Copies of this chain bind each other. A is one copy, B any other.
């Protein structure tokens, strides 16, 4: 498993070793003792899977205490641009974001700690899968509008397909008034 740190503390990309042979390929996408040795000792208690047609954007979502979720995200088919925004109040990189081009052929994944907003846009028809450190609790979920002017995220696509629920999300400066000057 290769590990690539980003400029944001705790936000990392993981690239598993893929074994190829005449049948296809095989890899471990999660291995608890290995993750512990990589500094990721958390327990994952829920796995989710979604399918998105090309052009769908899901996000930006976040879960609040006591149901905050760390997420280990990856793509099993297709390709997405994955975005993680640091919204940890005490973080020196608050408001900064990182993108990951998650591709089923690379089998790369990202670990997004608790306290981030998360979303992705499907660059192809894509199967997306993630492991969560906490269970889903609808009332503890909120988010930031995907095209927030302060975040100014380059999604690389002009008119994404966004759910009604996600179109109603608020901008960062309304959700964190103290943080944006």
Contact = CB atoms under 8 A, between A and B. Distances in A.
B23 A58 contact: yes
Contacts of A136: 28
Interface in A15-57: 21-33, 45-53, 56
A99 interface: no
A127 B76 CA distance: 8
A3 interface: no
Interface in A123-181: 127, 129, 131, 135-136, 161, 163
B161 A22 contact: yes
A46 B27 contact: no
Interface size, A (range):
20 to 34
A52 B23 CA distance: 5
Main secondary structure of the interface of A (DSSP, over half): strand
Contacts of A56: 23-24
A30 B50 contact: no
A23 B161 contact: yes
Contacts of A46: 28, 30-32
Given A32-B135, A129-B76, A26 B45 contact: no
Nearest to A78: B77
20 contacts: A21-B163, A22-B163, A23-B52, A23-B53, A23-B161, A24-B52, A25-B50, A25-B51, A26-B49, A27-B48, A27-B50, A28-B48, A28-B49, A28-B136, A29-B47, A30-B46, A30-B47, A31-B46, A33-B135, A76-B127
Interface of A: 21-33, 45-53, 56, 58, 76-77, 107, 127, 129, 131, 135-136, 161, 163
